[in-house]
Structure 1
Amino acid sequence: MRNLGFIFRDIRMDKGYSLKDIADGILSVSFLSKFERGDSDISLSKFYLLLERLNMTLDEFSFISNDYNLTQVETLMKNVRNAYENNNINLLYKLEQEEIYMWKKYNLSNHRYNSIMIRALAYDLNKQLELNQEDITLLNEYLFKVENWGFYETMLFGNSMSILSIDSIIIFSKEILIKTQLYSRIRKNKEKLIRVLLNTIFYCIESKRPLSALHFIISVEKILERHSDLYFEKVKLLYLNGIYKIISGNSNVGIDMSNKAIQIMNALGDINAVNNHEIYLMGKIEFLNKTSRVLII
Structure 2
Amino acid sequence: MENRSCYGQAFRQLRLDRGYSLKEAAGNIISPQMLGVFEHGKSGISLNNFGRLLIRIGATWNDFFRYYNGESILKELSLSDEILVKINNGHYYDGFKLVESSFEGDYSDNPILETVYKLSYQSYFQTLSLTSKLTDDELEIVLNYLNRIDTWGIFEYSVLSYILADCPYEMVKYRSGKILDAMANNKKSFLSSKKEDIAILIHMIGYFSRKAYFKDANKLIAELENILKSPSYNHLYTEKFNFKFYQAMNFLRQNNPKGLEIARDCIHFLEAFEALDNSNASAIDKNKILSAVSVLNKTGIPFKES
Q: TM-score with structure 2 length normalisation?
A: 0.74
Residues 188-219 of structure 1: per-residue CA shift (max 9 Å, x gap): 34333221111111122222222111222234
Residues in 2 aligned to 1:22 and 1:205: alpha-carbon distance in whole angstroms: 54
**Taking structure 1 as reference, are residues 94 and 272 closer, same or farther at Cα in structure 2, changes over 3 Å only?**
same
Who is 1:138 aligned against?
141
The farther-off stretch of 124-133 and 176-185 is 176-185
The residue that corresponds to 1:279 in the other structure is: 291
Q: Give the corresponding residue for 1:154.
A: 157
- Which of 264, 269, 272 is residue 264 of structure 1 equivalent to? 269
Q: Does residue 92 of structure 2 align to residue 125 of structure 1?
A: no
Unmatched runs of 5 consecutive residues or more in structure 1: 291-297
Rate the CA distance shift 1:179–1:57 in 2: closer, same or farther, 3 A: same
RMSD: 4.0
Cα distance in 1 between the residues matched to 2:186 and 2:123: 27
Q: Is the 8 A contact 1:198 1:237 kept in 2?
A: yes
> 1-side partners of 2:206 and 2:64: how far apart?
37
Identity of aligned residues (%): 22
- Cα–Cα, structure 1 residues 19 and 115, in superposed 2: closer, same or farther, change >3 Å? closer
Question: 1:96: Cα distance to partner?
Answer: 7.2
Structure ranking higher in helix proportion: 1
Letter in 1 for 2:234: S
SS of residue paired to 2:293 = helix
Change (3 A) 1:7 1:76: closer
Corresponding residue for residue 222 of structure 2: 218
Which runs of structure 2 are paired with 1:72-111 in the superposition (5 Å)? 73-74=76-77, 77=80, 80-82=83-85, 84-86=87-89, 108-111=111-114
Check the 8 A contact 2:206/2:250 in 1, yes or no. Answer: no
Alpha-carbon distance, 1:154 to partner: 0.8
Shift of 1:52: 2.5
1:195 partner amino acid: A
Match of 1:255 in 2: 260
Q: Equivalent of 2:299, from 285, 288, 297? A: 288
- 1:200 corresponds to 2:211: no
One-letter identity of the residue aligned with 1:227: Y
Q: Pick from 224, 231, 242 the counterpart of residue 248 of structure 2.
A: 242
- Following superposition, the deviation at residue 122 of structure 1 comes to 2.4
1-structure distance, mates of 2:245, 2:208? 14
Where structure 2 has 5 or more consecutive residues not aligned to the other structure, the ranges are 274-280, 302-306
Question: Is the CA contact (8 Å cut-off) linking 1:92 and 1:118 kept in structure 2?
Answer: no
Deviation at 1:144, TM superposition (A): 1.8
| TM-score (ref. length: structure 1) | 0.76
How far off is 1:231 after superposition? 1.8
What SS is found at the alignment partner of 1:279? helix
Residue pair 1:155, 1:192 contacting (<8 A) in 2 also = no
> Which residue in 2 is equivalent to 1:191?
195
Deviation digits for residues 18-39 of structure 1, max 9, x if unmatched? 4454434544455434433544
